[in-house]
Each structure stands twice: as structure tokens, then as C-alpha cells.
Structure 1
Amino acid sequence: MPQYDFRQPRLFVDSVLTAGETVQLERGQSNYLGNVLRLAAGDTILAFNGRDGEWQASIAGRKRPDSLSILAQTRQQDRLRDLVYAFAPLKHARLDYMVQKAVEMGASSLQPV
């Protein structure tokens, strides 16, 4: 696997990422790469989707970036650990609110202490 470079731009793409795949960019992503970061065809970025890990990708397109050619995986996707929410029992009304916020936060289990 290639060595990880923290200075290289990263871009979230909502597509399956595999080596050799070509991913079409949305208009906003194309604008971000071409006008904001001033990148052109042939430049490389790091693409990720939150499921398949992080991949090195080459920008393709004539006037502006319109697609990414996925080259190689740079990092595996880390599996998130279960989030245990430990709390002190409160009055009933506040307990409902606390459970609501714990669910919004993504807690996998609630543990009274």
C-alpha cells in the first residue's frame, strides 16, 4: 500500500470504491476540485466513502474535473467501536431527554452507573 500523505486533498464520494473503477463527480465536487483547490486532470487526491476505506485517485476531465480514476487503496476502513453511554439515573422527564440524545449520538448501549 502507498505511504499515507496528510497534505494530499481528500474528497468524500458516495460510490463504491475499488481499484480500476471510474467514479463520476457531482457538480459541487467538480467545482471544489477545479476552482477551489485549483487541481487539474492528472493530479491525485484521496477519495473515501466511509465504507471501503481511503483510495488514491487520479482526476480526469478536459476543461474541469468530471471523474476520478481509482488507483490504489491507501488505508483500510476502521471499524467503529461500540459506544457505551454511562449515565447517572435522573428523574423520569430528564431520563427521556437523555435517552433521546444518546440515540442521536449513536450510542450502542446505555449503562446506568
Structure 2
Amino acid sequence: MVRLHIPQPLSSGAALAPTLDQSRYLTQVMRLKAGDELAVFNGRDGEWRCVVAEVLKKGVVLRAEEQVRGQVTPPDVHLLIATVKKAALEFAVEKATELGAARIRLVTTARTQPQHLRLDRLDAIAEESAEQTGRMDVPAVDKPEKLDTLLDGWNASRRLMFCDETGGAPAIGAVQAAGGGSWGILIGPEGGFTPEERDRLRALPFTTAVSLGPRVLRADTAATTALTLWQAAVGDWDR
């Protein structure tokens, strides 16, 4: 069944108005017509079975019929990733959504290369990935923030997994030893963190430095690997 993310409130009998792009997708790509069913979620009210109530010249009208799944809270893990090249960043956003990240925070560091970012494009990738993977929320993608500013305002109750490519850090088992709860996973830029950034990260009381193996990984590969290992250690894969 087609799944669609629509931010509007969901309740029995509610009329829903997809965007024009979503309407085109439903009628021109998926070939839905009046009376056909689809699933809709908004990140708050669970997943609902809906029907196409009307097909208009400029869009469609949906009607919510019944809730088929209650709302599920995603794992409390944030991906923090340096603003790398477009293709790698888009891949990381897609995979972070698939792997259950609750929030994606973009970071600028001393070695971050200037990038022309389209946050609307990254939001769309996260939304499409959520629709395809069955999750019932869409992670926010935050605008870039300087690493020092982010660390200055960090909530120490959230552990921060710092992926250190220089070696000497324990394997991912250190995360399991540190326990569950709220986490952030920090992935650096091409060229890595500077010695000063690395020293500060290692000195923070809420940070756990980990190794992702003997090879230096691309940022998008590192993000996918770290989230996968976090999920296996303390995430929601046992549900």
C-alpha cells in the first residue's frame, strides 16, 4: 500500500489535502483513483488507512478511515554529521532515516569545506525515506551549526559517541558498556577533525570515543556503520 506523510491532524473522517506534488504522485505515478486506499502518517497520530475521496483538477482530497497502527517513538539517537559533499550527505540523510535516527544535525568544523546546501532537498529525502521504510515520523534536518557552539550548548544527559578515525579508541562495544538512553553520534568531515577538536571531544565528560575499524571510512559510510552498530548495541532492533 502507498504510504504518505501529511502533517495535518489525523482522526476518523478527517479530510486531508496532500501537496500538489503528492497529488501528482498519487494520480500520475501510482495511478490511484477515487475509492482507492493508502496509508497516511503525520508523526503524532499513528498510521491511518485513508481513501481517495475526490480527484480534482489541481490535487486530490483524502479521507481518514481508521487508525491501523499507534504512534511509535523512534530510538533516541541523533546523527551529527559534518557538511560533506552533496551526494554523500544525501546518502547519509537517507540511511540515517532508514536506521531510525530521531534527528539529523549538520555540523561545520575547522576542516569543513563550504557547501551549497538545500535543506528543503534533505527534508524531502528524509520524508521519502520515512514513507518507504514504514516509520511513522520524519526526522528533522537541522541547519548547520559550528561544532564549538554545538558542544557549548550540549545537554550532558545525552551521551555523545565520537567516531575517531585516528585509532586508539575502543571498539563499538564501549557504547554498549556505557548503556542505553539518549545518544548522539558525531561524524567528522573529509580530512577528519583537527587535533584541537579531537582533544576537546575526548576531554568532555559525556563523550565516548569509539573506533569503526582499521580503515578510514567516508563520512556517509561512517554514519551508516555507526548507526547500525549503535542499533545493534542499544537500539530498538529487538522490538
TM over 0.5: yes
Measured in 1, the distance between the counterparts of 2:68 and 2:18 equals 20
Give the superposed CA RMSD.
Answer: 2.6
Q: Which amino acid letter does the alignment assign opposite residue 92 of structure 1?
A: E
The structure richer in strand per residue is: 1
TM-superposed CA distance for 1:112, in Å, is: 2.4
Is the counterpart of residue 47 in structure 1 residue 43 in structure 2?
A: no
- What stretches of structure 2 of length at least 5 have no aligned partner? 78-158, 163-168, 170-192, 210-239
Name 1:100's counterpart in structure 2. none
Q: Secondary structure at the match of 1:71?
A: strand
Name 1:31's counterpart in structure 2. 24
Measured in 1, the distance between the counterparts of 2:7 and 2:56 equals 23
User: Scaled by the length of structure 2, what TM-score is found?
Assistant: 0.35
Is the counterpart of residue 93 in structure 1 residue 181 in structure 2?
A: no
Alignment of 1:64-83 (within 5 A): 66-83=60-77
TM-superposed CA distance for 1:85, in Å, is: 3.3
Change (3 A) 1:93 1:30: same
Measured in 1, the distance between the counterparts of 2:4 and 2:69 equals 14
TM-superposed CA distance for 1:13, in Å, is: 0.7
Is the counterpart of residue 59 in structure 1 residue 52 in structure 2?
A: yes
TM-superposed CA distance for 1:18, in Å, is: 1.1
Measured in 1, the distance between the counterparts of 2:44 and 2:75 equals 15
Contact in 1 for aligned 2:41/2:47 (Cα 8 Å): yes
Q: Percent of aligned pairs with the same residue?
A: 33
Q: Which structure has the higher relative contact order (CA within 8 Å, separation 6+)?
A: 1
User: Scaled by the length of structure 1, what TM-score is found?
Assistant: 0.69
Q: Secondary structure at the match of 1:32?
A: helix
* Total equivalences in the alignment: 94
The structure richer in helix per residue is: 2
TM-superposed CA distance for 1:25, in Å, is: 2.1
Structure 1 stretches of 4+ with a deviation exceeding 3 A read 62-65, 94-97
Name 1:15's counterpart in structure 2. 8
